[in-house]
């Protein structure tokens, strides 16, 4: 591995004794000194000059990847710095410098954390954002159908690079192009190809992880438990994944795509959804058929209950039409509503980008619309009755800014064991529900009203979804499920594992305890933490005392 620059190593020696002795006050000044010694200049800190010009660079970088505008409000705590490493060595150096300055660390890939945990700190402790946007390279090996993807690459970057290398291979992951690969894969990563080829995390072959001590670890050196944990155990917990080695999957030259809307009364729409929940999870693996339901769906210009069906088929249009008309005749599909296209064109089609967008726009991080939103999630194991769907849609019609996304499972999702990876929601789950309420700045004065509404709707849905525990998807983070209020690395008489179990078992079911063991192995001092990070057993303080002062260039710090 590459060595840490000598000035940084000497600075480490001069400051490490103070760190080992306890938790000194957080020091942005120490951070700046350390970053300079590491020859790291691509960072921004708040200026003492409150003028707009002096602060513009800081806020421009800070706000660029804040995707949920709920967490862009001026009143929320801001980071002591935003650092943008450009390579693995700079990432290692940044982590070391944050530790020396006793500043918390938030790793930001694309900024799509639903609760802002990649760029905010609800406990008000001083922190630094390590923004990975400059580590966005993708290396594609067409012959072996693999790729190395840096964690700062968006899904759009990744898909574009793959398609430019070969139009018959793809990666199984989500549809939003501005989502960062780092956080997406870390939580599982469901998408249009998942019923055929599994989650993004199911297709990870190797990874490079920079741990809290700056050691650079691959699959072999990090060990089985940690490699297992980083593939679906959530982001911001284990260290910083520099890059992922992913398996690429075959796709035909032409695929079939459609987005159709069906409007009507709540009774009419409920009948369609009732049929959908029996059809979509049992279609051939080559199909993905999602259902969006609401009284004011974002892509429509009208108010009124409707369902939008977003369909994808790995094959030609005639076969797709024949299967859907046989299995889901209630859709009344016409041939003209479906389109054949290449796989990469389908990525653009489902991306949510403006209709005029091209394949190259998948790499554009600013075309995607940002909103204020709150989300929650549920898993459905048994079809919901038509009567209860009508009741649910009657409630949904009361709030036009809210809608549901129903994503079907089945297929390859059933063929992976619930303990094979941290993501446990496999066989037996028909579909996942994502509840969303979105609003603009003009309506932000009603924020509390929107939050209260979605919590009430979620409460109503409790009798129809999984129980014991009521499960949730970690990539749809929801702090309503519970949080751990870290104040430092040691919580005294409290039991962080017991606190985290409340929400952790809802995301990870029986895999929670193995995640705790993995966290204890890789980050026993809880350096990488947020309100919903996995805690280690037996929290300690500072740096590990049995490793002080010994430098090993092969493994990073110490």
**How far, in Å, are 109, 163, 360, 512 from residue 365 at the CA level?**
12, 18, 11, 34
Residue 479 lies in a domain: no
- In the sheet that holds 216-217, the strands lie side by side as 138-141, 146-150, 240-247, 204-210, 216-217
Cα 100–Cα 104–Cα 110 angle in degrees, nearest 5: 120
pLDDT at 25: 56
**Whether 38 and 120 share a structural domain:** yes
Domain count, the chain: 3
pLDDT at 176: 97
Per-residue pLDDT tens digits of the chain, which is 558 residues long: 445 555 455 455 444 444 443 444 566 778 999 999 999 999 999 876 666 655 688 999 999 999 999 999 988 999 999 999 999 999 999 999 999 999 999 999 999 999 999 999 877 789 999 999 999 999 999 999 999 999 999 999 999 999 999 999 999 999 999 999 999 999 999 999 999 999 999 999 999 999 999 999 999 999 999 999 999 999 999 999 999 999 999 999 999 999 999 999 999 999 999 999 999 999 999 999 999 999 999 888 778 999 999 999 999 999 999 999 999 999 999 999 999 999 999 999 999 999 999 999 999 999 888 999 999 999 999 999 999 999 999 999 999 999 999 999 999 999 999 999 999 999 999 999 999 999 999 999 999 999 999 999 999 999 999 999 999 999 999 999 999 876 444 445 578 999 999 999 999 999 999 999 999 999 999 999 999 999 999 863 333 333 332 223 333 322
**Positions marked catalytic:** 476
**Burial of residue 124 (number of CB atoms within 10 Å: 0-12, 13-18, 19+):** exposed
**Whether 203 and 285 share a structural domain:** no
Cα 76–Cα 62–Cα 489 angle in degrees, nearest 5: 60
Residue 330 lies in a domain: yes
**Whether 245 and 273 share a structural domain:** no
* CA neighbor of 557 nearest in space, from 242, 241, 97: 97
Cα separation, 184 vs 244, in Å, equals 11
The set of residues, in sequence order, having a beta carbon less than 8 Å from that of 76 and lying 6+ positions away, is 120
Residue 513 lies in a domain: no
Token couple for 84: 């943008």
pLDDT at 556: 33
pLDDT at 491: 47
pLDDT at 30: 87
pLDDT at 486: 62
Picking from 192, 226, 250, the residue at the C-terminal end of a domain is: 250
Picking from 76, 106, 134, the residue at the C-terminal end of a domain is: 134
Dihedral, CA of residue 156, residue 161, residue 166 and residue 168, to nearest 10: -20
- Nearest-10 crossing angle of helices 6-21, 28-37: 150
Which H helix or E strand runs over 138?
A: strand 138-141
pLDDT at 53: 59
Distance of CA 268 to the CA centre of its chain: 34
Residue 470 lies in a domain: no
CATH for 225: 3.30.465.10
Picking from 464, 491, 520, the residue at the C-terminal end of a domain is: 464
Residue 476 lies in a domain: no
Residue 364 lies in a domain: no
CATH for 422: 3.40.462.20
Q: In sequence order, what are the beta bridge partners of 217?
A: 209
| Residues spanned by the domain of 195 | 138-250
- In the sheet that holds 43-44, the strands lie side by side as 43-44, 81-83, 127-131, 104-108
**Whether 378 and 418 share a structural domain:** yes
């Amino acid at each position: 591995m590459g060595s840490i620059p000598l000035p940084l190593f000497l600075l480490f020696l001069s400051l490490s004794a103070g760190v080992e002795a306890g938790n000194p006050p957080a020091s942005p000044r120490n951070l700046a000194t350390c970053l300079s010694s590491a020859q790291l200049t691509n960072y921004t800190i708040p200026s003492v000059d409150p003028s707009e010009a002096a602060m513009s660079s800081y806020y421009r970088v800070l706000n660029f990847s804040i995707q949920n505008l709920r967490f862009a409000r001026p009143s929320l705590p801001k980071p002591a710095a935003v650092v943008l490493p450009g390579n693995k060595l700079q990432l290692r150096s940044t982590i070391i410098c944050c530790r020396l300055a006793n500043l918390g660390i938030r790793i930001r890939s694309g900024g799509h954390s639903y609760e802002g945990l990649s760029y905010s700190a609800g406990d008000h402790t001083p922190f630094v954002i390590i923004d990975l946007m400059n580590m966005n390279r993708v290396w594609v090996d067409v012959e072996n159908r693999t790729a190395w993807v840096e964690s700062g690459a968006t899904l759009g970057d990744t898909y574009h690079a793959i398609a430019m290398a070969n139009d018959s291979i793809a990666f199984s992951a989500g549809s939003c192009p501005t989502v960062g690969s780092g956080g997406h894969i870390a939580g599982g990563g469901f998408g249009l190809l998942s019923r055929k080829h599994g989650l993004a995390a199911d297709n990870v072959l190797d990874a490079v992880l920079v741990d809290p001590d700056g050691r650079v670890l691959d699959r072999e050196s990090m060990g089985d438990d940690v490699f297992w944990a980083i593939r679906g155990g959530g982001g911001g917990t284990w260290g910083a994944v520099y890059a992922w080695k992913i398996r690429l999957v075959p796709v035909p030259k032409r695929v079939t795509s459609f987005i159709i809307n069906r409007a009507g009364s709540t009774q009419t729409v409920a009948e369609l959804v009732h049929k959908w929940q029996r059809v979509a999870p049992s279609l051939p693996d080559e199909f993905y058929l999602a259902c969006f339901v609401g009284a004011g769906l974002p892509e429509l210009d009208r108010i009124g209950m409707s369902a939008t069906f977003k369909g994808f088929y790995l094959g030609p249009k005639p076969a797709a039409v024949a299967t859907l008309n046989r299995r889901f005749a209630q859709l009344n599909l016409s041939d003209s509503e479906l389109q054949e296209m290449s796989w990469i064109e389908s990525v653009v089609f489902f991306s949510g980008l403006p209709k005029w967008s091209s394949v190259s726009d998948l790499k554009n991080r600013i075309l995607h619309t940002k909103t204020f939103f709150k989300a929650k999630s549920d898993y459905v194991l048994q079809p919901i009755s038509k009567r209860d769907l009508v009741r649910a849609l009657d409630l949904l019609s009361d709030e036009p800014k809210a809608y549901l996304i129903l994503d079907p499972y089945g297929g390859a999702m059933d063929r992976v064991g619930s303990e094979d990876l941290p993501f446990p929601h496999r066989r037996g789950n028909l579909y996942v529900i994502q509840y969303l309420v979105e609003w603009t700045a003009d309506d932000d004065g009603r924020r509390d009203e929107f939050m209260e509404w979605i919590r009430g709707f979620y409460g109503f849905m409790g009798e129809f979804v999984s129980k014991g525990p009521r499960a949730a998807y970690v990539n749809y983070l929801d702090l309503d499920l519970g949080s751990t209020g870290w104040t430092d690395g040691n919580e005294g008489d409290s039991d962080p594992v017991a606190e985290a179990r409340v929400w952790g078992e809802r995301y990870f079911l029986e895999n929670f305890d193995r995640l705790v063991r993995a966290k204890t192995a890789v980050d026993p001092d809880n350096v990488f933490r947020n309100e919903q990070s996995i805690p280690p057993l037996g929290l300690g303080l500072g740096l590990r005392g049995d490793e002080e002062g010994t430098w090993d260039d092969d493994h990073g710090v110490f």
